[in-house]
Structure 1
Amino acid sequence: LNVLPNIYGEFKVTDKIFLIQAGLVGTITKNTYQHLTTINPWLQTISQQQNTKETELYGGLKATVGKHFSFSAKASWITFHNMPFFINDTALGNTFTISNDRRVNDFRIHGDMSFINQDKFTITGGLTFNGYNGMKDNERAWGTVPVEITGSLRWWAFKQVLLKSDFWAFSSSPYLLKNSSKNTLGGGADLSIGAELAITKKISVWMDVNNLFNNKYERWKNYPVYGLNVLGGAIIRF
């Protein structure tokens, strides 16, 4: 029997500007193979996996400044039951297997901001700190990222032209090989830019330039990312 709390409250400090939030929320994550490979695409085939129960106690604030700018910040104490960690498998280490942990705590701090000018211009940014601790079955939180920074920009420069950019950076990540050797991967950063041109209401073409600065890093051990690469295509709407 799983009891999932869903308790939350909000308090306005000043009208339409500051909002204080607090809550206790529980969720169940179904760890299907499809879901797990969205986290780590190099996971080997698994026959069965336990679901993860998550309970989050949090407090934070949200604020809106003027017509366009908003930001929020939240601190959480999260408890996971049956949390999956990813470790390298086989002698070559070219796939991953799962090491479950019965109970894991995470002290998380998250903040984000956005500037929106109607539908023409949007810029967002986020920062997340994770402090995993109290593992029962694993020495460290293998494959997790302690610090993550994200950003995005969307600008309709002209009626038919969308310019876009995305940024992602993360700190070092601990890893464990099947032979029990362990170490820490270095962090990484990735900047991409792109454009989309609407030729008609139903046909658009697009181009993305990924890893603009050709950075070399590994999000997962033994899987270095591509260097600078260019992708393009067409979108047809029916």
Structure 2
Amino acid sequence: MKITYSFLVTTILSLSFSFSQNREKDTIDSQTVNVVKPYTPTISDAFKIKDNPSLEDKNTIQKKEVRYNIFSIPVASTFTPAKGKAANVDKRPPAKLYDNYLTGGVGSFTNIMGELYLNHALNNTENVGGYFSHHSSGGGIEGVQLDDSFSKTALNANYSQKLSDFSWKIDLGADLQSYNWYGLPEGVFDQTEINMIDPSISYTGFEVGGNINFEDAIIEGGNVRFRRFGDARDSGENRFLADTRFAIPILDEEIKIGLRVDYLNGNFDRNYITEEGLNYGNTTFGASGYYEMIEDDLTLQLGLNFVYLRDSETEDNEFYIFPNFEASYRLVDDILISYAGIKGDLIQNSFYDITQENPFVSPTVLIAPTDRSYDAYLGLKGRLSNNVSYNIKGRYIADRFKPLFKLNDAQTFAEEDYQYGNSFNLVYDNVKTLSVAGELNIAVNRNFNLRIQGEYFNYSTTNEREAWNLPDITGNVFLDYQISEKWFAGGSLYYMGQRKDEFQLDGTLVDTDPTLITLDAYFDANAHVGYKITDQFSVFAKANNIANNNYQRWANFPVQNFQALAGATYQFDF
């Protein structure tokens, strides 16, 4: 028995010793625990009290039951409620628009102006119309020794028809203009010579033309016009123009194509120095086209312009190729739009166009086309707000054979009335022009509009001393104000920068050296005001050259000082 107990004790001790020796191999070791974030209890971790409170107050007041009784008595009534509708807003009836008007006025310097515009619908598709305009002045410029009166009269009649697929129009007109070469150089000729001068100039013109436009067709339309123009000194000019336009769709884009013919032929009775006549004649054939691509905010036009020139006097032929590229990109919707382009063309100069710009040219000028090799431009435009829009543009133009107005030499042995240094000639030169222009349009409200424009020019010539009679800066301001339902007003301000010209006296024995002339810059302010007596009849007053400047647009040709004019306008229908 003792042996048995001894064996059990020995076994237990052995197991205990053996277990204590194997603790070194236990996988559970002592470790250090680092608390990264302290425990933050949330509401969800709390135990919610689920016991409902009991109310054992014996003094609780019990709610009493309340019963309502309605004593309804039927009442006979004939009232019928009307349907609700919005109240009418009182608004001004739209102004009556008339198709015809007659206006006329008289003023200082014996100024007379009149204008008649007519338009009448024969039926739903046919219209006839026309206009007549006249503006004349008796002259009276201070310090001028020759007659300085002028007169301009124009007459036109037209007929048009609009059908479902196309519309067309034909018109014919005539005009009569008279001026005077009154710009004599000071201190050159004596009174006896001056009294012998007849400075009158008379221009007459006749034209007939028409146009046609198609709807949803490859041929978009075309124009044709013939003009006869001449003066009272046996000068004459004929011009015929015709053009047509095509739009060829390709997938979602279009190719625009234009074809034109421009025929010009004319003659002058003599040249400035001798009695030998001058003849000129040019015919141009042009074909231009571009591919237009519109992709999101980008609009791109890629094309070329081809022109063939035939000089009938010299029998010379020339072929020109000009660029015709333009692109625009909307940077910020309608707020900021950038655009750029480079184009070129052969410009057909004519005696008619020249006299409309400067009526004091002599009937001895050389007429030739201008090669505008390229006109490159870059600009930004857009809207600053719903009422303000702007346009900023820079240009670089290269012209070959550009016409410039320059004073004719004064001759002490003059035989013609325009040879006293009182007329202008055309000289041609290669001119490169760099310009920067800006325009701002402001619609203050629906009754007040303002437009401001300005442009700076820098010229580079090849042969001539200066870019004769071209300004370095131009600017203008226009405003229109509807003061009230009856009163209206407006105004304009023109600014012309300095120009250069040259004067030379040719004598029988000796010629003088050319003298450079600098024409001063000037402002010309104008204003008008009117009152509407009835819907059809109104009166107005105008004031021109308000600053009373005796400026010269052309050398030796001063303009009228302050001018006032009053008149009336009548609107009507047939």
Q: RMSD of aligned C-alpha atoms?
A: 2.1
1:176 alignment partner, one of 489, 502, 511:
502
- Counterparts of 1:151 and 1:28 in 2: how far apart (Å)? 32
Which 4+ runs in 1 deviate beyond 6 A? Answer: none
| Contact residue 59 and residue 75 of structure 1 kept, 8 A | yes
Q: Distance in 1 between matches of 2:321 and 2:538?
A: 48
User: 1:156: Cα distance to partner?
Assistant: 1.6
Tell me the amino acid that sits aligned with residue 24 of structure 1.
I
**TM-score where L is the length of structure 1:** 0.90
Deviation at 1:236, TM superposition (A): 4.7
- Cα deviation for residue 96 of structure 1 reads 0.8
Using the aligned pairs only, state the percent identity. Answer: 23
Q: Contact 1:217 / 1:225 at 8 angstroms: preserved in 2? A: yes
Show CA shifts across 1:57-86 (max 9, x none).
111100201111011111111011221111
How many Å separate the matches in 2 of 1:186 and 1:193?
23
Shift of 1:6: 2.0
Tell me if 1:71 matches 2:378.
no
Question: What is the DSSP-based 3-state SS (H/G/I as helix, E as strand, rest coil) of the residue aligned with 2:356?
Answer: helix
Task: State whether residues 33 and 46 of structure 1, in contact with CA within 8 Å, keep that contact through their aligned partners in structure 2.
Answer: no
Opposite residue 348 of structure 2, the aligned amino acid is K
> Hey, what does 1:15 align to over in structure 2?
333
2:558 equivalent in structure 1: 224
Find the partner of 2:462 among 123, 136, 143.
Answer: 136
User: Aligned equivalents of 1:188 and 1:29: distance in 2?
Assistant: 30
**Residues 47 and 148 (structure 1), Cα distance of their counterparts in 2 relative to 1, 3 Å cut:** closer
Give the corresponding residue for 2:363.
45
1:223 deviates by 0.7
Which moved further from structure 2: 46-55 or 178-187?
46-55
- For 1:155 and 1:198, locate their aligned partners in 2 and report how far apart those are by CA, in whole Å: 14
Report SS of the residue matched to 1:35. Answer: helix
Check the 8 A contact 2:396/2:434 in 1, yes or no. yes
Report the Cα offset of residue 186 of structure 1: 1.1
**Structure 2 partner of 1:152:** 478
How far did residue 39 of structure 1 move?
2.2
Larger % of helix: which?
2
Residue aligning to 1:98 = 426
Q: 1:82 to 1:204 in 2, by over 3 A?
A: farther
- Counterpart in the other structure of 1:60: 379
Q: Give secondary structure in 2 for the equivalent of 1:2.
A: strand
Say if 1:197 and 1:131 are closer, same or farther in 2 by CA, change over 3 A. same
Give the 3-state SS of the residue equivalent to 1:158 in structure 2.
coil
Residue equivalent to 1:30: 348
Cα displacement (A) at 1:38: 2.8
User: Which has a greater percent of strand?
Assistant: 1
User: How far off is 1:155 after superposition?
Assistant: 1.1
Q: 1:156 to 1:30 in 2, by over 3 A?
A: farther
Mapped to 2, the partners of 1:147 and 1:192 lie a distance apart of 19
Show the counterpart of 1:126: 453
The one-letter amino acid of 1:82's match is F
Secondary structure of 1:37 counterpart: helix
Residue 174 and residue 15 in structure 1: after superposition, are their counterparts in 2 closer, same or farther (change >3 A)? same
AA matched with 1:125: I
Spell out, residue by residue over 1:6-57, the C-alpha distance to the aligned partner (whole angstroms, 9 max, x if none): 2110111112200111100224433222322232232222465112233211
Distance in 1 (CA, whole Å) between partners of 2:533 and 2:403 is 45
1:181 alignment partner AA: T
Q: Which deviates further from its counterpart, 191-200 or 88-97?
A: 191-200
Distance 1:11 1:229, change over 3 A: same
Cα distance in 1, alignment partners of residues 484 and 370 from structure 2: 46
Could you tell me which runs of 5 or more consecutive residues in structure 1 were left unpaired when the two chains were aligned: none
Q: Any idea what the Cα deviations from partners look like across 1:183-223, whole Å, max 9, x if unmatched?
A: 21111111111124445555544322011111122111001
**Deviations along 1:148-203, whole A, 9 cap, x unmatched?**
11111011222343311100112211011244321211111111111244455555
- Give distance in 2, aligned partners of 1:29 and 1:162: 41
Residue of structure 2 aligned with 1:214, choices 548, 553, 566: 548
Q: Determine which of 109, 120, 141 is the counterpart of 2:436.
A: 109
TM-score by length of 2: 0.39
Distance in 2 (CA, whole Å) between partners of 1:44 and 1:164 is 37
Residues 1:174 and 1:16: Cα distance change in structure 2 (over 3 Å):
same
Uncovered stretches (5+) of structure 2, i.e. residues with no partner: 1-318, 411-419, 506-513
One of 188, 193, 213 as aligned partner of 2:522: 188
Highest RCO, 1 vs 2 (Cα 8 Å, sep ≥ 6): 1
Kept after mapping to 2: 8 A contact 1:167/1:191: yes
Alpha-carbon distance in 1 for matches of 2:568, 2:549:
27
CA distance in 2, matches of 1:95, 1:211: 24
For 1:201 and 1:37, the matched residues in 2 are separated by: 39
Name the counterpart of 2:14.
Answer: none
CA 1:117–1:90: 2 relative to 1, 3 Å: same
Give the match's secondary structure for 1:25. Answer: strand
Letter in 1 for 2:423: T
For residues 28 and 193 of structure 1, the distance between their equivalents in structure 2, rounded to whole angstroms, comes to: 39
Which range moves more in the overlay, 163-172 or 21-30?
21-30
SS at the partner of 2:359?
Answer: coil
Q: Is contact 1:87-1:178 (8 Å) kept? A: no
Please say if 1:83 is aligned against 2:402. Answer: yes
